[in-house]
Amino acid sequence: MKGVQVRCYSGYTYGERPASFTWQGVTYGVRRVDKEWREPTMRCFRVSTDKNESFQLCYNEYEDEWSVLEPGGKELGR
């Protein structure tokens, strides 16, 4: 298993909105998406979780891979 697994809502395209994710053996429910933006190769989300924590999740569309980052941008895992 890689560092993060994301369950997401996918309508028109894959990964439109994260619903929950598992990172370091802990599953977090996404309470809300605080910010959403696109970068050249990925779609990113700043989320608040059901554990009152904030994370940045990014989906790299070319590599078909999610990563989790601290809100400041430091990568925590893939």
Question: What amino acid occupies position 48?
Answer: S
Per residue in 12-27, pLDDT (tens digit) is 777 788 999 999 899 9
pTM, whole model, 2 decimals? 0.82
Question: What amino acid occupies position 51?
Answer: K
pLDDT surpassing 70 at residue 38: yes
| DSSP secondary structure letters along 3-72 | SEEEEEE-SSSTTSEEEEEEETTEEEEEEEEEEEEEETTEEEEEEEETTS-EEEEEEETTTTEEEEE-TT
pLDDT surpassing 90 at residue 28: yes
